[in-house]
């Protein structure tokens, strides 16, 4: 099975605009730049599929039910015309709880004790297990994305496209390849609208890339 993993386009959360507006995370919308990114990614993907003779007759598109992923999917799918599109709640972004939609400075001021507890995990190399107050840890996201992967393995769709969020996509990759918590701590997030292709135990970017490449 060919599995295309796509991070949503740039949103008001990525530009920190939501630190001022404080939209609930499911309602965060794309920026104008994000809409352009989604169009460019859709055009690239359409050409990539044609150039590699990848047929979409049995394709399926899965998306997170958050607004920014829905909007990214709607734009990209204009170029692909995949008829089978489903949402799945297990594909949502990591739940940030009390820390959602706030800057580090705001968090430290409003929730000093909670931040100290979380930061202790984070700074001691235990980012994978660091649970956000009233939210999730990456470990929690790994559990729910494993459930999602188990469900799609029973289906016969190929290729499969998933439009989701940064941490969620990294947890999908972690589960597929049985990577360690240490891998997650070192793995950079994807740029908005980047595309990874997983096929036959290989994982590669075909469009975009990580936000920053770590030095070896």
Token couple for 66: 């958050």
Give the per-residue pLDDT at 122.
Answer: 85
**pTM of the predicted structure, to 2 decimals:** 0.92
Give the Cα separation of 4 and 24 in Å (integer). 28
Q: How many CA atoms lie within 13 A of 63 on its CB side?
A: 21
Give the Cα separation of 131 and 141 in Å (integer). 11
Profile the chain (216 residues) by mean pLDDT over runs of 10 residues.
96 83 88 97 98 96 98 98 96 92 86 90 87 93 96 91 97 97 93 96 95 54
Give the Cα separation of 7 and 73 in Å (integer). 10
* Residue 32 burial class via C-beta count within 10 angstroms: exposed 0-12, middle 13-18, buried 19 and up: exposed
Cβ–Cβ < 8 Å for 191, 145 = no
CATH code at 3-95+136-207: 3.40.50.1240
Only one residue has tokens 């740039």, namely 10
Give the per-residue pLDDT at 214.
Answer: 42
Cβ–Cβ < 8 Å for 195, 6 = yes
């Amino acid at each position: 099975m060919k599995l295309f993993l796509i991070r949503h386009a740039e949103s008001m959360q990525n530009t920190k605009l939501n630190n001022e507006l404080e939209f609930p995370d499911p309602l965060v919308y794309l920026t104008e730049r994000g809409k352009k990114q989604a169009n460019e990614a859709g055009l690239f993907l359409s050409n990539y599929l044609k150039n590699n003779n990848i047929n979409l007759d049995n394709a399926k598109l899965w998306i997170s039910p958050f607004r920014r992923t829905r909007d990214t999917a709607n734009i990209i799918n204009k170029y692909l015309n995949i008829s089978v599109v489903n949402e799945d709640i297990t594909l949502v972004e990591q739940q940030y709880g009390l820390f959602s939609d706030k800057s580090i400075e705001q968090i430290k001021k409003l929730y000093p004790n909670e931040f100290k507890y979380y930061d202790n995990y984070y700074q001691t190399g235990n980012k994978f297990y660091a649970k956000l107050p009233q939210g999730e840890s990456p470990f929690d996201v790994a559990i729910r994305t494993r459930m999602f992967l188990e469900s799609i393995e029973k289906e016969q769709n190929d290729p499969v496209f998933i439009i989701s969020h940064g941490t969620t996509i990294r947890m999908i990759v972690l589960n597929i390849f049985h990577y360690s918590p240490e891998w997650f701590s070192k793995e950079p997030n994807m740029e908005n609208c980047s595309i990874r292709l997983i096929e036959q135990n290989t994982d590669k970017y075909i469009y975009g890339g990580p936000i920053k490449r770590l030095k070896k």
